[in-house]
Amino acid sequence: MSAAARPQLRPPSPAADRGAPSLPPRPSRTGPTVAAVIAGVIVVLATIELDISWTSLGEIPGRVANYLVLLFAEPNWEKLPRALFETWRSVSMAWLGAIGCVALSIPLGILAARGVGPAWVRLPLRWLFAIIRAVPEVVIALVLLTVTGLTPFTGALALGIAGIGTQGKWVYETVESVQEGASEAVRAAGGSTAEVARWALWPAAAPSLMSFALYRFEINIRTSAVLGLIGAGGIGTMLSNYTNYREWDTVGMLLIVVVVITMLIDLISGSIRRRIMEGARPRVVDRTR
Q: Each residue of 215-272: pLDDT tens digit?
A: 888 888 888 888 877 777 788 888 888 888 888 888 889 999 988 988 898 888 888 8
What is the 3-state composition of the chain as percent helix, strand, coil, each rounded to the nearest 5?
Answer: 75, 0, 25
* pLDDT above 90 (res 130): yes
CA dist., res. 117 & res. 112, Å (int): 6
Total residue length of the chain: 289
Contact 128, 105 (CB under 8 A): no
Contact 226, 138 (CB under 8 A): yes
Question: Residue type for 4, please?
Answer: A
Percent of the chain with pLDDT over 90: 10
* pLDDT above 70 (res 160): yes
- In order of their start, the domains of the chain are 71-277 (1.10.3720.10)
Question: Residue type for 40, please?
Answer: G
* Band of residue 38 on the pLDDT scale cut at 50, 70, 90: very high
Measured in whole angstroms, the distance separating CA 6 from the mean position of its chain's CA atoms is 75
CA dist., res. 251 & res. 235, Å (int): 11
pTM for the model stands at 0.72
Q: Report angle CA 85, 87, 92 to the nearest 5 degrees.
A: 95
* pLDDT above 60 (res 9): no
Long-range contacts of 126-134 (CB under 8 A, 24+ apart): 126/169, 126/172, 128/165, 128/168, 129/164, 129/165, 129/166, 129/168, 129/169, 130/165, 131/165, 132/161, 132/162, 132/164, 132/165, 132/168, 133/165, 133/166, 133/169, 134/165
